Amino acid sequence: MTTAPPTSQPILGKPLIHFGRRVLERTAPGTPPTTYRSVEITPMTPHIGAELTGVDLSRPIGEELAAELRQALLEWKVIFFRDQHGLDTAAHHALAAVWGTPEPNPFFPKGDAVGVSRLAKDATAVGQENIWHSDHSFMAAPALGSVLRAVEVPPSGGDTMWADMGAAYDNLSEELKQRVEGLTAVHDWVPTWGSFMTEEQIAALRGSLPPVEHPVVVRHPRTGRRTLYVNEPFTTRIAGLPEHESRELLHMLGLQARIPEFQVRFRWQPDSIAIWDNIATQHYAVSDYYPSRRVMERIAIAGVPLS
């Protein structure tokens, strides 16, 4: 599928977004098709997001099922399950362990169990706008993924959206692909999480959480697919570029996650579960349900340095 010439409004002489037909590949070219025996796959879009049925995640997960869950996540980038009523904290941990070791977010409130973050918003906490992001990109080894369980959901609103950043890379112009080839970007938590802290609190965390650099385009650690890896809240600048050029380029790249053709949107129900590939996607929790209550429990999965 070819991409039409860019017709969007330019910034500093460069197009922001290319209009026209888009390349929407579910997997990297040459990836063999997968046959699933333990689960049923219902795609939510042709290339990102699928609902899996026919499995009770509260029961022990054997290796055959684990292998299919891992493969489904690589293929679809985010997978969903409904009506997982028996998934307690131990089963939540066991499910996350299919992919790796739990990793706490240093800024999230901690739940009763190690690695579980309990995220609650209610009438006493006014909802705030979210922004497209990739979890823990400010760490040297960003989280590989997350397992999120809905405990309590509002009567309407509170959806979560994911964007396929492999598709975002595929649809960059050839000129822009050449421009970002080999570049690295600085990721830092201070402009976001630090805005809620005192200078003393920031200084206390700086030793363990210094700014880090990742390639602007990474090779996914498990599929090898080229993936755009910058996000609006945590990527602060492109290393080695003048400030104005870095700002322009980050703005242009950050907009790519906002393209609906790259996205999937999930409506939560109690005991629904979403598992996402944090390197292949960015996500956005829609904060449109105030003053209703929304309670989620999340376990992140430790990752590896990116290249």
Decide: helix, strand or coil at residue 67. Answer: helix
Q: Give the CA dihedral 65, 97, 159, 297, nearest 10 degrees.
A: 130
Q: What is the pLDDT of residue 109?
A: 63
Total-model pTM: 0.91
Q: How many whole angstroms separate alpha carbon 304 and alpha carbon 35?
A: 28
Confidence label for 227 from pLDDT (cuts 50, 70 and 90)? very high
Q: What is the pLDDT of residue 130?
A: 85
Residues carrying an active site annotation? 133, 135, 283, 298
Give alpha helix (H) positions in 80-223: 89-96, 165-170, 174-180, 199-206
Q: How many whole angstroms separate alpha carbon 120 and alpha carbon 259?
A: 28
Confidence label for 108 from pLDDT (cuts 50, 70 and 90)? confident
pLDDT at 224 over 70: yes
Tokens representing 159 are 């959806």
Beta-sheet strands, E only, within the chain: 10-11, 14-15, 40-43, 50-53, 78-81, 102-103, 116-121, 145-152, 160-164, 184-187, 212-215, 217-219, 226-228, 235-238, 263-266, 273-277, 281-285, 294-301
pLDDT mean across residues, the chain: 90
3-state secondary structure labels for all residues of 209-232: CCCEEEECEEECCCCCCEEECCCC
Q: What is the pLDDT of residue 15?
A: 64
Instruction: Decide: 198 and 225 in contact? Cβ < 8 Å.
Output: no
Cα 180 to its chain centre, rounded Å, is 21
pLDDT at 201 over 70: yes
Confidence label for 2 from pLDDT (cuts 50, 70 and 90)? very low
Q: What is the pLDDT of residue 202?
A: 95
Q: What is the pLDDT of residue 106?
A: 83
Nearest by Cα to 151 from 276, 293, 55: 293
Percent of the chain with pLDDT over 70: 89
Q: What is the pLDDT of residue 20?
A: 75
C-alpha angle 236-237-240 in degrees, rounded to nearest 5: 155
DSSP 251-263: HHHHGGGG-GGGE
pLDDT at 303 over 70: yes
Instruction: Decide: 239 and 214 in contact? Cβ < 8 Å.
Output: no
- What is the end-to-end Cα distance of the chain in Å, rounded? 28
pLDDT, one tens digit per residue, over 71-105 is: 999 999 999 999 999 899 999 999 999 999 998 88
pLDDT, one tens digit per residue, over 129-187 is: 689 999 999 999 999 999 999 999 999 999 999 999 999 999 999 999 999 999 999 99
Q: How many whole angstroms separate alpha carbon 108 and alpha carbon 127?
A: 16
Is residue 68 left, alpha or beta, with left meaning phi > 0 and alpha meaning psi from -120 to 50? Answer: alpha
Percent of the chain with pLDDT over 90: 79
Name the CATH code of domain 10-301 (choices 3.60.130.10, 3.20.20.140, 3.30.565.10, 3.40.50.1400).
3.60.130.10
Cα 100 to its chain centre, rounded Å, is 17
Instruction: Decide: 189 and 107 in contact? Cβ < 8 Å.
Output: yes
Beta-sheet strands, E only, within 38-115: 40-43, 50-53, 78-81, 102-103
Q: Is 300 exposed, middle or buried (0-12, 13-18, 19+ CB in 10 A)?
A: buried
Q: What is the pLDDT of residue 116?
A: 82
pLDDT at 302 over 50: yes
Q: What is the pLDDT of residue 14?
A: 60
Residues with Cβ within 8 Å of residue 291, at least 6 apart in sequence: 122, 123
Q: How many whole angstroms separate alpha carbon 218 and alpha carbon 143?
A: 14
Q: Where are the domains of the chain?
A: 10-301
